[in-house]
Amino acid sequence: MHIADGVISISVAATTTVGAVGILAYSLKGTKEEEIPKISLLAGAFFVASLINIPIGPTSIHPLLGGFLGLVLGRRAPFAIFIGLILQTLLFQHGGISTFGTNMLLMSIPALFVNYLSSIKKNIPLFLKGFIAGVIAICIAVFLLILLLFLSDQRYAEGTFSVIRLLVLAYFPLAILEGIVTGVAYKYLYTMRPSLFNGAGGTSS
């Protein structure tokens, strides 16, 4: 899910850019020197992990990992997403300058929400926790995307096969797949490195 330039209106682009700056400032606040290598490396690793293609017939999909980022990096997730998006824009040449704020909010808000949920609901089996995080992150991102498209131009919602309906149809199965992958990866990571999640040097808040 990488929104290209030209798809959303100037007013939505400007508003989301301002929102993204706010969320980045929140994420950056209080970053300690010892967190820098971890945030840098995890941002790079998440970015690369999201490039893993899962082949389905003639096409392939790739995980977004927004929910997983929320679980691992907590409050610092928007910062890592910001870095990942710069790399995506410049290194992998996906563009998206005017939609940079939109793309950042589409991943950051679900990541922060997942982090919040994880902090209030602690006694959930590991796989289930990762699965819920993956599914919820995609659902929130798609909901936000639909909202921003609708605010940009109502023609995106017109007709039986409207852009918005197609998005819901395309992303619902992807949310399930993302949930399974996130669930397995989270369980694996938690089992191998529990210290990453219980505050011992972790960045989760």
Task: Tell me which stretch binds other proteins (CB under 8 A): 110-118, 135-143, 161-169.
Answer: 161-169
Determine, following the binding rule CB under 8 A, whether residue 51 of this chain makes contact with other proteins: yes
Report the C-alpha gap between 125 and 123 in whole angstroms.
7
Position among 18, 41, 128, 147 found at the interface with other proteins (CB under 8 A): 41
Determine, following the binding rule CB under 8 A, whether residue 144 of this chain makes contact with other proteins: no
Determine, following the binding rule CB under 8 A, whether residue 34 of this chain makes contact with other proteins: yes
Task: Tell me which stretch binds other proteins (CB under 8 A): 6-14, 105-113, 117-125, 136-144.
Answer: 6-14
Position among 38, 124, 126, 143 found at the interface with other proteins (CB under 8 A): 38
Q: How many degrees, rounded to 5, is the angle at CA 33 between CA 32 and CA 35?
A: 70
Residue 64 CB, nearest approach to other proteins (Å): 12
Instruction: Give the footprint of other proteins on residues 95-114 (CB under 8 A).
Output: 95, 97-98
Position among 23, 72, 105, 109 found at the interface with other proteins (CB under 8 A): 72
DSSP secondary-structure letter at 155? G
Give the binding-site size for other proteins (rule: CB under 8 A): 80
First to last CA, the chain: 27
List phi, psi (to 5°) of 78.
-60, -35
Exposure string of 86-122, with b = 16+ CB inside 10 Å and e = fewer, is: eebbeeeeebbebbbbbbbbbbbbbbbbbbebbeeee
Determine, following the binding rule CB under 8 A, whether residue 31 of this chain makes contact with other proteins: yes
Task: Tell me which stretch binds other proteins (CB under 8 A): 103-111, 115-123, 136-144, 174-182.
Answer: 174-182
Beta-sheet pairing, 59-61 with 54-56:
antiparallel
Report the C-alpha gap between 140 and 192 in whole angstroms.
29
Determine, following the binding rule CB under 8 A, whether residue 159 of this chain makes contact with other proteins: yes
Structure tokens at 153: 């131009």
Position among 166, 172, 194, 199 found at the interface with other proteins (CB under 8 A): 166
